[in-house]
Each structure stands twice: as structure tokens, then as C-alpha cells.
């Protein structure tokens, strides 16, 4: 089985969740081939070879990030004292392709490839989530979404992840196999 995990991450939280999901897949199926890639490195050939495609991103303004929301996040991070490394990662992500643009180039599958969607989000009333939009786009590209979209909680606006979320991500990844 070949699992491809594609993620967009501004502050590293979504990347950590994606890597934990990959660990869960490997624990559940030690023989599985697992590729865990930032959206900037995921191309059509990579996704075309997947038996399971897992896609995740951060929640911005109640849903999937946009070019504007990524630039706003990078600018906000730049003004925080002592966050130089996070600001550099956020700026790199803001300048690259986001999930919205990536979905435009995602080929429609006719093979019934399985898929799942996740996001990182704050724990506050009406915070929204990106995972539903990701799952919707996967379904529009004819992927068979095999799990309810999942949200992983970030403390504050830029993290860290809430205690236990990486364990929860590993368990979720294992259940996807």
C-alpha cells in the first residue's frame, strides 16, 4: 500500500500532525510506503501513485488558507519578538502554493483512490476548520473519502499543539489503513 500525505503548514503544527499520521500508518502497516510532503513538493505523479491520499492544512479565517491569509499570517509572525525561525517558515509557505491552488492541479481520479482530510485549528467557538473544505475538494476530484474530516487542536493562534494531539494523529493515521 502506498500512502501519500500532503500538507500545508505555516508554523510547523500541521507538519507535525502530518508526520504523526505517517507514523500511525507505518505502525499499522509496517510494509506500507509512506510519502509525507509539503504541498510545494507534491505533484500529480506523486498523488497518482497513491492508494491512500491524506491532505491537511491549517485553518485560516474559518476555513482553508488563501494567499491573503497566508501573507497575513507571515506578516503577523514577522512582528513577534523571538520568532525569527517561525517567521522564516511562515514566509516560505506564504510565498509558495497553498492547498487551494494545489487542488486546481490535482488530477481527477477514476480509480476510486481512498482519501482523508485533516486540519489544525484553534479551540474556540466558531473557529471553523479547513478539513471539511479539503474533504469536499477530494470528493470533487473523485477520491473516495474514507473517514470523517479530522481537526487537531492548536493552543493560541500559532501553537503549540495541545497535549495529546500527536498521539491522536498517530491513532487516526493507523485507523485509515
What residue ranges do the domains of the chain occupy? 2-176
Residue 159 φ/ψ, nearest 5 degrees: 105, 175
Q: What is the tens place of the pLDDT at every residue in 18-42?
A: 999 999 999 999 999 999 999 999 9
Q: How many CA atoms lie within 13 A of 47 on its CB side?
A: 29
Q: What is the tens place of the pLDDT at every residue in 117-152?
A: 999 999 988 888 999 999 999 999 999 999 999 999
Residue 75 φ/ψ, nearest 5 degrees: -65, -45
Q: Is the dihedral of CA 56, 93, 1, 46 positive or negative?
A: positive
As a CATH number, domain 2-176 is 3.40.50.360
- The pLDDT value recorded for residue 127 is 81
Rounded distance, CA 112 to CA 50, Å? Answer: 11
Q: How confident is the model at residue 156 (pLDDT cuts 50, 70, 90)?
A: confident
Q: How far is CA 121 from CA 34, 95, 146, 150, in A?
A: 25, 21, 21, 10
Amino acid at each position: 500500500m502506498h500512502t501519500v500525505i500532503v500538507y500545508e503548514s505555516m508554523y510547523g503544527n500541521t507538519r507535525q500532525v502530518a508526520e504523526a499520521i505517517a507514523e500511525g500508518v507505518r505502525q499499522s502497516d509496517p510494509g506500507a510506503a509512506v510519502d509525507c510532503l509539503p504541498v510545494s513538493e507534491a505533484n500529480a505523479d506523486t498523488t497518482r501513485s497513491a492508494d491512500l491520499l491524506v491532505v491537511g492544512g491549517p485553518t485560516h479565517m474559518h476555513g482553508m488558507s488563501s494567499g491573503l491569509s497566508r501573507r497575513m499570517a507571515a506578516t503577523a509572525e514577522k512582528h513577534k519578538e523571538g520568532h525569527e525561525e517561525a517567521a522564516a517558515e511562515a514566509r516560505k509557505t506564504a510565498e509558495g502554493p497553498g492547498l487551494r491552488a494545489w487542488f486546481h492541479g490535482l488530477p481527477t481520479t477514476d480509480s476510486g483512490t481512498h482519501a482523508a482530510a485533516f486540519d489544525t485549528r484553534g479551540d474556540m467557538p466558531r473557529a471553523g476548520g479547513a478539513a471539511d473544505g479539503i474533504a469536499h475538494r477530494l470528493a470533487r476530484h473523485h477520491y473516495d473519502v474514507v473517514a470523517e474530516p479530522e481537526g487537531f487542536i492548536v493552543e493560541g493562534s500559532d501553537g503549540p499543539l495541545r497535549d495529546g494531539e500527536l498521539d491522536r494523529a498517530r491513532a487516526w493515521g493507523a485507523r485509515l489503513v
